[in-house]
Amino acid sequence: MTKPSESPASWLRERRSALLGDDRIRGADLAHAYAELIDGWLASLLPPEGGVALVAVGGYGRQELAPASDLDVLMLHEPARRGVAAAADQVWYPIWDAGLRLDHSVRTPTQAIRTAVSDLKVTLGLLDARLVAGEPRLFDRLRGDAVEGWTRRARRWLPELMAGVRARHDDVGPVAFVLEPDLKEGGGGLRDVTALRALIMLAGESAPAEVDAAAQVLFDARVELQRCTSRREDRLLLEHQDEVAAALGLGDADALMHGVAAAGRTVSWHLAGAAGRARPPLGRRAGARWWPAPKRRSELAPGVVRDGDELELAPSAEPAHDPGLLLRVAAVAAAHCVAIGRAALQRLAIEAPVLQGPWPAEVRNTLVEVLAAGPRAVEVFEALDQYGLVGRILPEWDAVRSRPQRNAFHRFTVDRHLVEAAAQAAALTERVDRPDLLLIGALLHDLGKGSAGDHTDAGVGLMRTLANRMGYVPDDVETLVGLVRHHLLLPAVATSRDLEDPATIAGVATVVGDIGFLNLLDALTEADSLATGPTAWNPWKEELVARLVERVRRSLNGTPHVPSSATPTADRALVARAVDGIRVEGTSHHLSVAAADQPRLFSRVVGLLALSGHDVRAARARPAGAFGISEFDLEPHLGTTPDWDRFERQLRDALEDELDVDAALLERAHAYGRLRRPQAARVAPPHVIVDNEASSEATVIEVHAADEVGVLFRIARALADLALDIRHAKVSTLGPEVIDTFYVVSFDGAKLSDPGDADELERRLVEAVSAGKACLAPR
């Protein structure tokens, strides 16, 4: 195999490098070829004397050898075999010399089995054992005892196995619903595939074809990830997704993540089912295997029977001629917390027709029943999804199935987000007059994300089609269409507009029209936000939306909103406490500043807040004689209260040009830029909206830009350069993007009136936020 001058380690390094550099071999094919290369090499290292065997275990045993995988090797030997240590050294040292990771052990078959009895990890590794070289009889004895031991001791091992699965899931998160999944340790990842196959073995079965296909998707991605990073990497980070997709011949990262999400969901669903079926009850034994005792069959709905712990179709059921059967099965499963049996799912997948319109009221109400089950409905939809059955109910669903969102604001794929939103809405139905419309609206509000263009515009058309197909009357159709059209209205207004401005309240009241629709929209907003992720619904946002809804409700009842403002007495008191023209008073959540009025006051306060690491949520500015007063609602930094005395000294220095806020922020941006991760979503180019109609007293400017260090400061500085006075500001962060809204007037208190001024304003603001890219560029 080797030339006289060539060491075994050098030989392997050369051929391993050539194999990994051959881009004609990809994914699992590469892993198998690599395993075969290692097999032949290890066989050449094993001494020719008998009485020993080299056994591959774990991933190497399955020939799933990724570029950075460990070699899991067991050397078996006869109890009386002499020179075992020397034989082992002849194998282990070349592996280390080649720079490979090695997980090794040297045991007799009896010792190996004894170790497996007390160690679940060893037990699972031996289930995938494979003879590489040496005495077959040693391996055959080990393999037989390992499988028998796993089956015989399953009742003992299952709780530990599933506890480990749950711990991994809690620690790492699911493969299907995170932006950067851990392909090995994540829920639905490759370790779960190993656990699933071990559970399936207890039933004497082989893994379903869909599980094998899902495992290959995950493993192909893992192989190419390690290949492109040249390191032991299992988390599919955003910066590698395009490269991995290209290596696998996929169109782009979205196509890759769609496949990974679908694979993770398949593995998770099958693992949950296998774990449920493998629960060993006390006192019942069938041979060496433990299974639940059968329960008496009972009919729970027409065509739907309970058989043990699962639902099955009655012998008389005719899915092809009973359009409502599929939803009846789902409703019974949700109501009784019973899994739908695989035989039922398979038969429905073959025979159930696509629901045509208009639906009978009974069918429509059955879908509402499923959604009203809340969290249990999520499990039912997941089961239907595994067999493509959601598309039989709603054909448009297939366009969003496992569709990734690639946005840190969202934790779920589009389809799972919709089901989660409906589950959240189920807890809010008492707040509305039409729970059915709320649940259907929640389920379908983002369906347009499967179409090109603006998802709301696309969703409006889809909802109109679906609502008519479902048999809703015209008024209900318009309500559902309105929920889709305006599902972002309340959070957008609450987080970006001045809720003290009567024009804001009147504008929302005009759009919603009546209190019944307002209540529906309010509940949908909360359900949608809760289903989006932890950053989408926090106490600050919840309070803003509640304040907006209450003021709109009063307006619809005929009570116009009267704005509140700080009392002149409070302003005078703050100014009176100003020493040498400046006063700073703050808590961890709020800051008030009084200083001699000047154009750059607001921007410098904002810049200093950015330097201290505090995010501004909202701000108001107003004159008080010769002073300007600015108030800020803050997002506290690490739960700490700033040193406001120091902040006041810094502000004094900044206003006297003794502290260069621009330079300090630039330095912080460079430091932050070295640490920051790539954006979790594709952020649109910055753009600016200038609106002279949204407020009766000020011009409203809305700036959309990437969330970067100092972006609010740069905007405020640009507005000051344009001689505009900020009266109110709202800051909203949506994942990697910020939407900053400013109510501005000229220094004489007037709104912008010249269209040319608006064009210049847009240009200058885009330049200001784009400057952040230069700040973050490497020096």
Is the pLDDT confidence value at 778 over 50? no
Pair 133, 254 in one domain? no
pLDDT for the residue 12: 93
Provide CB contacts within 8 A for 329, sequence distance 6+: 301, 303, 304, 311, 313, 340, 344, 348
Higher model confidence: residue 745 or residue 682? 745
- Which three-class secondary structure state does DSSP give residue 305? strand
pLDDT for the residue 564: 66
Work out the end-to-end distance of the chain between its first and last CA atoms, rounded to an integer number of angstroms: 51
Pair 727, 610 in one domain? yes
Q: Is 387 within 8 Å of 345 (Cβ atoms)?
A: yes
Provide CB contacts within 8 A for 178, sequence distance 6+: 186, 411
User: Which tokens is 84 given?
Assistant: 């075992």
- Rounded to an integer, the average pLDDT of 483-488 is 97
Higher model confidence: residue 730 or residue 542? 542
Is the pLDDT confidence value at 675 over 50? no
Residue with tokens 């507005």: 719
- Report yes or no on 358 lying in a domain: no
pLDDT for the residue 642: 80
How far are the Cα atoms of 52, 139, 398 from residue 449, in angstroms, in the given order?
60, 54, 11
Pair 423, 524 in one domain? yes
- Rounded to an integer, the average pLDDT of 602-616 is 86
- Which three-class secondary structure state does DSSP give residue 524? helix
Is the pLDDT confidence value at 457 over 50? yes
Pair 129, 162 in one domain? no
- Which three-class secondary structure state does DSSP give residue 413? coil
Pair 129, 241 in one domain? no
Is the pLDDT confidence value at 228 over 70? yes
- 524-565 pLDDT, tens digit each: 999 999 999 887 888 888 999 999 999 999 999 998 877 765
Lowest mean pLDDT among 10-14, 429-433, 618-622: 618-622
CA distance 748 to 705: 29
- Report yes or no on 402 lying in a domain: no
- Report yes or no on 691 lying in a domain: yes
pLDDT for the residue 429: 96
Percent of the chain's residues with pLDDT above 70: 92
pLDDT for the residue 289: 44
- Report yes or no on 359 lying in a domain: no
CA distance 201 to 62: 15
Question: 508, 510, 506, 502: which is closest to 525 by C-alpha?
Answer: 508
- Which three-class secondary structure state does DSSP give residue 684? coil
Pair 762, 644 in one domain? yes
Q: Point out the domain boundary residue: 277, 304, 322.
A: 277
What kind and span of H or E run contains 632?
Answer: strand 627-635
- Rounded to an integer, the average pLDDT of 602-618 is 85
Q: Is 668 within 8 Å of 710 (Cβ atoms)?
A: yes
| Domains in the chain, number | 4
- Report yes or no on 188 lying in a domain: yes
Lowest mean pLDDT among 133-142, 393-402, 441-450, 700-709: 700-709
Q: Point out the domain boundary residue: 244, 277, 310.
A: 277
Question: 530, 533, 528: which is closest to 445 by C-alpha?
Answer: 528
Pair 466, 500 in one domain? yes
Higher model confidence: residue 670 or residue 655? 655
CA distance 609 to 683: 25
Pair 586, 472 in one domain? no
pLDDT bracket for residue 70 (50, 70, 90): very high
**What CATH number does residue 512 fall under?**
1.10.3210
pLDDT for the residue 567: 65
Pair 705, 731 in one domain? yes
pLDDT for the residue 769: 86
**What CATH number does residue 58 fall under?**
3.30.460.10
pLDDT for the residue 770: 84
- Report yes or no on 134 lying in a domain: yes
- 107-117 pLDDT, tens digit each: 999 999 999 99
Q: Point out the domain boundary residue: 152, 167, 185.
A: 152
Provide CB contacts within 8 A for 376, sequence distance 6+: 334, 337
E runs forming strands in 232-320: 298-301, 304-307, 310-313
pLDDT for the residue 680: 47
- Which three-class secondary structure state does DSSP give residue 344? helix
Is the pLDDT confidence value at 282 over 70? no
Pair 769, 725 in one domain? yes
pLDDT for the residue 672: 60
Higher model confidence: residue 251 or residue 3? 251
- The whole-chain average pLDDT of the chain stands at 88
How far are the Cα atoms of 327, 354, 393, 419, 440 from residue 472, in angstroms, in the given order?
18, 18, 16, 21, 11
Pair 578, 531 in one domain? no
pLDDT bracket for residue 683 (50, 70, 90): low
- Report yes or no on 386 lying in a domain: no
Lowest mean pLDDT among 268-272, 338-342, 487-491, 704-708: 704-708
- Report yes or no on 419 lying in a domain: yes
> Structural domain of residue 552, as residue ranges?
415-564
Q: Provide DSSP, 222-249.
A: HHHHHHHHTS---B--HHHHHHHHHHTT
Percent of the chain's residues with pLDDT above 90: 60
Question: 432, 557, 422, 545: which is closest to 488 by C-alpha?
Answer: 545
Pair 166, 263 in one domain? yes
Is the pLDDT confidence value at 87 over 60? yes
- Rounded to an integer, the average pLDDT of 206-211 is 88
**What CATH number does residue 231 fall under?**
1.20.120.330
**Degrees (nearest 5) of the Cα angle 613, 618, 621?**
110
Residue with tokens 């910055």: 686
pLDDT for the residue 283: 35
